[in-house]
Amino acid sequence: MTNLVLYRKYRPYSFKDFIGQEHIVKTITNEISSGTISHAYLFSGHRGTGKTTLARLFAKAINCQNPKGAEPCNKCPSCLEINEGKAIDIIEIDAASNRGIDEIRSIRESIKFAPNFLKYKVLILDEAHQLSKDAANALLKILEEPPSFAIFILATTEAHKMIPTIASRCQRFDFYKLSYNEIIKKLSIICKKEGIEIEEGALRTIASASEGSMRDAEGILNQVLSFLPGVRIKEEDIQVLLGIVKTDVITELTEYLIKKDKAGALKFVGEQIEKGIDLPEFTKALISYLRKLIILKIDANLIESIMPGETKESIAKAIKQSESFDEETLKRTIELLLEAENKSKYASIQQLPLELAIIEAIGI
Ligand SMILES: [Zn+2]
């Protein structure tokens, strides 16, 4: 089973099943139902946020022979051809591996002729910012005088690298990172349909680790399924798989920092290393936690945005710990840990920079 299995299997077939990016879906479906679609679109945003999925949905909807409003019927010959990936009028190109002028020239040739079967020829150009300069200029020429039956959708993770004259010819949509709840919603649907038993905490852990990318979230779920087929998936399974350091380990170490207990802190770190904890992940988790504390200290109202989906106990603990520090100490401690994180990459004793940082932080 590859990481992409679930991602492909659960790609939405209609706009109503597309989770997230509501601002874009609303505008695009309005354009489709009112017949005011553009000739060129620029889909920009973080990876795994649905750019190519939405591009394909759009291509299907505008070609559907029997649409219901903006929704494709998924039954007509056009929809079926597109769903089966057999539509030769839908051209998908990855500019990361086809970045030269010749590829764009061949697009120009093929776009000259009317569609073979569908109403529109749709060119989906992924990673469009990777085109060479000559290729980008050739693409610009096509965009300046597009045939009436051609639609261009350029997808990019780095819109600022696109040449401005191309970007200005496109209707631009910025894709947001998926929210924590949107990712959980999709994962829950998949688990339900697949008959997978999974703990709520496991879903939460996947959602945090995927950092707004649905593709990454589905990839993690896929991975855990191939390791643990047919069993109830627990939060701990995901933590082990991803090398995630448990929150209670971090809060316990933080407690030593608060109590200014050097011996206790060093002993605790030593024990964790004995247990085989991943030191870079451990340091990263500590820094990330202290970052949350300093933000909470500045404005406790930000709790929802920095600790989405955390349990009430974890939130209460974090608030209490943030109150036990003064802002300056927290700031200095984070700085020391950031330095230690860097130094440990080259240290002959890997944990030494972390230990020194802890000693110094407690001495503040
Ligand atoms: Zn259809």
Q: What is the pLDDT of residues 44-81, one digit of tens each?
A: 999 999 999 999 999 999 999 999 999 999 999 999 99
* Domain termination residue (choose one: 197, 217, 242): 242
Considering the domain architecture, whether residues 216 and 263 belong to the same structural domain is answered as no
Q: At what angle do helices 352-362 and 262-274 cross, to 10 degrees?
A: 160
In-domain check, residue 8: no
For residue 117, what is the domain's CATH number? Answer: 3.40.50.300
* Pairwise CA distance, residues 75 & 81, whole Å: 10
Residue 64 Cα, ligand 1 centroid: separation in angstroms?
Answer: 4
Residue 45 Cα, ligand 1 centroid: separation in angstroms?
Answer: 28
In-domain check, residue 12: no
Question: What band does 153 get if pLDDT is binned at 50, 70 and 90?
Answer: very high
Residue 63 Cα, ligand 1 centroid: separation in angstroms?
Answer: 7
Residue 364 Cα, ligand 1 centroid: separation in angstroms?
Answer: 68
The 10s digit of each residue's pLDDT in 158-172 is: 999 999 999 999 999
Considering the domain architecture, whether residues 134 and 32 belong to the same structural domain is answered as yes
Residue 51 Cα, ligand 1 centroid: separation in angstroms?
Answer: 21
Residue 82 Cα, ligand 1 centroid: separation in angstroms?
Answer: 9
Number of separate domains in the chain = 3
Residue 68 Cα, ligand 1 centroid: separation in angstroms?
Answer: 9
CA pseudo-torsion sign 51, 56, 59, 60: negative
**SS3 of 126, please?**
strand
Residue 169 Cα, ligand 1 centroid: separation in angstroms?
Answer: 29
Residue 24 Cα, ligand 1 centroid: separation in angstroms?
Answer: 21
Task: Give the domain extent around 156.
Answer: 21-175
In-domain check, residue 13: no
Residue 73 Cα, ligand 1 centroid: separation in angstroms?
Answer: 4
Question: What band does 323 get if pLDDT is binned at 50, 70 and 90?
Answer: very high
Considering the domain architecture, whether residues 138 and 261 belong to the same structural domain is answered as no
Neighbours of 154 (CB within 10 A): 29
In-domain check, residue 3: no
Indicate if the pLDDT at residue 4 is higher than 70. Answer: no
Considering the domain architecture, whether residues 305 and 215 belong to the same structural domain is answered as no
**CB 159, CB 172: distance < 8 Å:** yes
Residue ranges of E strands in the chain? 40-45, 90-94, 121-126, 150-156, 171-175
pLDDT of residue 2: 45
pLDDT of residue 250: 95
Residue 57 Cα, ligand 1 centroid: separation in angstroms?
Answer: 11
Q: What is the mean pLDDT of residues 298-308?
A: 82
Considering the domain architecture, whether residues 283 and 329 belong to the same structural domain is answered as yes
For residue 299, what is the domain's CATH number? Answer: 1.20.272.10
Considering the domain architecture, whether residues 110 and 228 belong to the same structural domain is answered as no
Considering the domain architecture, whether residues 209 and 163 belong to the same structural domain is answered as no
**Phi, psi (deg, nearest 5) at residue 95:** -70, -15
Radius of gyration of the chain (CA): 25
- CA 359 → CA 225, 269, 363, distances in Å? 42, 12, 6
Considering the domain architecture, whether residues 144 and 236 belong to the same structural domain is answered as no
Residue 225 Cα, ligand 1 centroid: separation in angstroms?
Answer: 34
Considering the domain architecture, whether residues 49 and 128 belong to the same structural domain is answered as yes
For residue 202, what is the domain's CATH number? Answer: 1.10.8.60
